[in-house]
Structure 1
Amino acid sequence: MNLKKLTLYSSVFALQGLSNAVIPILPELAGGDSGSVAVSSLIFSGYFMGAFLSLVPLGILADRIGNLKVIRFGMLLTALSGFVITFSDIPLILGIFRFLEGVGCGAFFPAAFSILAEWEDSQQSLGEFNFLLNAGLAAGVFFSGVLAGFGIKTAIASFTFLSGLSCILLLSKAGDLLSPNGYGKEFTRSESKSPVKSQQDTSLLPELKSYLVKSRKTMFQTELGKIWGISVLLYGTTGLLNANYADYSASFLTKPELGLAISVSYLAAMLSSLIAGRADFNYKNIVRTGIILAAAGIFLSVKLPLLAFFLIGAGGGAAVVGLITAVSRINSSGFAMGLFNTGIYAGLGLGPVLGSFFLGTLGYETLFLGSAITLLSVFFVKLE
């Protein structure tokens, strides 16, 4: 593996590992027995809301000032957030820095995918990058559970250390290999004879306004709105389970067992994504199959956690392949794909928060089963 790949790949592994290392220990981060489920959900969701709100503006900024600068900013913010989360026990501080960690994610991914797309072996590199992305997610929850006996934040500290090493690589000459030209495509294309107009063109506000107008038209005048809604529902229900399962399973799962169960979902997602990508099925059937598997996993989570998380991961991995295929049939542009991804982060961010409002009334099991039934309502949505 060459140095530029090592730099980018180690960064995505550390970033994703740190993002998921909080999941098995959410009750402890929220204050243990004195903490509330709402606080747990906010700490979990803060990351995804930060990513959701920052993906578009920071993606545009990467085009303006260069991918490498934005990637460096994203990893520095990730490492800083991990450092604060490691040493702070104040739930409000944890929530704020989880949000900032999500902003770091929002800075990293648009710029990273832009860099990968320009490499000669882009298809192979994208496959390797996505493999390590999911491997980081799996490692985060697994080692968080396994290492909890040595200290509740041992895994967070470990992935923060890895993030710091990635920052050093990115700031060194190794980082310069990622973006030898220094700027993104859009910045180099923007030319103007007028200095005033040039200055206006570099402003993010007009471009963000244009993006919002275009987003509204795309969502309401095409099938993308339905696909976006399905992705919100899928990730909202599975995110709700992930955010609350540590509390729910405290009486019958140890931290290592919980970490193993959740990490299995990411391994299953890796496997099902490969199978769905090669399967000779209509994308609608792939989406439906994925939804059935994910809903079945949520149903089984109250009795069979290992099987449940395997089915949730397998269903989510397959459904996303089908949904991305559906998006590409409407519009294969980066804009459309970016808009689709905001649905994923919206679901992960909002699902646990909304669920926490009903938890006191319904209880864990009823809430989980209700979310599975809600997910199955997707079958009433017709994709063209």
Structure 2
Amino acid sequence: MKQRLSLIIGIFIVMALSNAIVPVLPEYASEMPALQGIIFSAYFFGAFVMVIPAGVLGDRYGRAPFITAGLLLTLLSGGIILLAANPYAITFARIVEGIGAGLFVSCALSWVNMQPDHTRLSGLYFAGLNAGLIAGLMGTGILNSHFGQNSGVMLFTGLAVIPLLLSFFIRDTTGVLTNVLPPVHAIGWRNKWLYFSSFILVGISGVLVSLYPEFTDESPFILGLLFAAMNGATICASLIAPNISLQPIQTIRLASALVGIAVLLSFIAPAYGGIGGVFVLFMVIGGSIGFVFVSQMNYLAVSEKLQGTAIGLLTAASYGGMAMLPFFSGLLTEVFSYGAAFLVNGILCLLVTVTIARCRCALPE
């Protein structure tokens, strides 16, 4: 139980702390939007460069020490943010935080997939992940308004001690440990369409978070509720999915089609359906992504022996989508229009519906 609590509480804290800085970005880089973007993206850069090496190291030397190291870096980065005196130190802290997240996420997910109850446990893990995103964004906004600028970061940094202490009880199970470097390219190639689906579908959530505030000009409170509804739907789907027999191809095909249609409709919904219609569409997107998460994990659990490497590649695809698709969509908006950005992202989702059929992702009956 302590091992599982360490991972579920750990991912909650890691995600909450990653979002805790978002409501106060203007305070760290006032009147410097570019620097705000750098501070925000520094976390994803650190995570992106670390997730694959972390998975490989977990397969080779065991996952437990890297889970602990990831939580330790998370605690350290929070401390640096609290003590930092300039935005460049904050940027450094965010890179450290991303590296810690990369270590933790790759090794925690591969540990989860080595357990007999991996389907149920992965559902709890992704529920904790999305709950952390909600808590970091909305909880920090509430705390900061009552107790000062750094109160949210301070709270989640302090809470990081709990999973860090629990992580010392984690023991590696019968995972494959090898002194030979795993064939990363071979694992990536045979699962390329699965990883492509993760790149697009996870990246889409980042696109909506980055574009919708300026696109709709809604109040921060309404936008916070909107994004919380999307994450909340992901939590519900993550808890429901383990109780349903899901074949990855059919699940991802249906989910990507729903997400693509919802993204296209979310462009016209504010004008014709009102904010209530947007809430429904965002919940459809979040719920669909939750089912995709669990089906991807379930497939990799039974298809790959080197779980760290396989999960590292999946996580890298997710972080890559979060980093690249919002940037690409911002350029489309700048050069063409919001309509072009929503149209291209909707088409990318529908492309996943077609390409996932080429994946060999089938579970044994």
Identify whether the pair has TM-score above 0.5, normalized to the shorter chain: yes
Is 1:16 matched up with 2:19?
Answer: no
Q: 1:10 to 1:148 in 2, by over 3 A?
A: same
Q: Which has the higher contact order (CA 8 A, sep 6+)?
A: 2
Contact preservation (8 Å) 2:45, 2:95: yes
Report the CA distance between 1:81 and its aligned residue: 1.6
Report the CA distance between 1:121 and its aligned residue: 6.6
Equivalent in 21, 38, 45 of residue 41 of structure 2: 45
Distance in 2, Cα, partners of 1:71 & 1:97? 19
AA aligned to 1:241 is L
Contact preservation (8 Å) 1:145, 1:260: no
Distance in 2, Cα, partners of 1:108 & 1:5? 13
Report the CA distance between 1:161 and its aligned residue: 1.9
Residue of structure 2 equivalent to 1:85: 81
Contact preservation (8 Å) 1:25, 1:246: no
Residue of structure 2 equivalent to 1:217: 186
Residue of structure 1 equivalent to 2:362: none
Residue of structure 2 equivalent to 1:178: 170
Contact preservation (8 Å) 1:134, 1:270: yes
Distance in 1, Cα, partners of 2:262 & 2:85? 33
Residue of structure 2 equivalent to 1:31: 29
| Larger Rg, first or second structure (1 or 2) | 1
Equivalent in 228, 234, 246 of residue 269 of structure 1: 234
Is 1:163 matched up with 2:160?
Answer: yes
Contact preservation (8 Å) 1:17, 1:136: yes
**Pairs within 5 Å for 1:230-379:** 230-248=197-215, 251-254=217-220, 256-279=221-244, 283-302=248-267, 303=270, 304=275, 305-324=278-297, 331=304, 333-334=306-307, 335-364=309-338, 366-379=340-353
Q: 1:297 to 1:159 in 2, by over 3 A?
A: farther
Segments of structure 2 that go 5 or more residues without pairing to the other structure are: 359-365
Give the share of equivalent positions with the same residue, in percent. Answer: 27
Q: Which moved more, 1:280-289 or 1:73-82?
A: 280-289
- Secondary structure in structure 1 of the residue aligned to 2:357: coil
Residue by residue, what CA displacement relative to the aligned partner does 1:311-363 show, whole Å, maximum 9, x if unpaired? 22112112334444665686465143432332112211222233343343235
- Secondary structure in structure 2 of the residue aligned to 1:381: helix
Residue of structure 2 equivalent to 1:55: 51
Report the CA distance between 1:268 and its aligned residue: 0.5
Contact preservation (8 Å) 1:64, 1:184: no
Residue by residue, what CA displacement relative to the aligned partner does 1:201-240 show, whole Å, maximum 9, x if unpaired? 5xxxx72xxx4xx3333444x3x22222222122222212
**TM-score of the pair, normalised by structure 2:** 0.78
Contact preservation (8 Å) 1:24, 1:258: no
Segments of structure 1 that go 5 or more residues without pairing to the other structure are: 191-200
**TM-score of the pair, normalised by structure 1:** 0.75
Distance in 2, Cα, partners of 1:357 & 1:160? 35
AA aligned to 1:225 is K
Q: Which moved more, 1:307-316 or 1:297-306?
A: 297-306
Contact preservation (8 Å) 2:53, 2:312: no
Q: 1:281 to 1:159 in 2, by over 3 A?
A: closer
Residue of structure 2 equivalent to 1:193: none
Contact preservation (8 Å) 1:47, 1:99: yes
Report the CA distance between 1:310 and its aligned residue: 1.4
Q: 1:45 to 1:294 in 2, by over 3 A?
A: farther
Is 1:383 matched up with 2:357?
Answer: yes
Equivalent in 143, 146, 154 of residue 142 of structure 2: 146
Q: 1:366 to 1:121 in 2, by over 3 A?
A: closer
Distance in 2, Cα, partners of 1:152 & 1:43? 16
Contact preservation (8 Å) 2:264, 2:343: yes
- CA RMSD, 1 decimal: 3.5
Residue of structure 2 equivalent to 1:194: none
Distance in 2, Cα, partners of 1:314 & 1:339? 23
Residue of structure 1 equivalent to 2:361: none
Matched pairs, number: 348
Residue of structure 2 equivalent to 1:108: 104
Report the CA distance between 1:162 and its aligned residue: 1.2
Contact preservation (8 Å) 1:297, 1:310: no
AA aligned to 1:16 is M
AA aligned to 2:29 is G
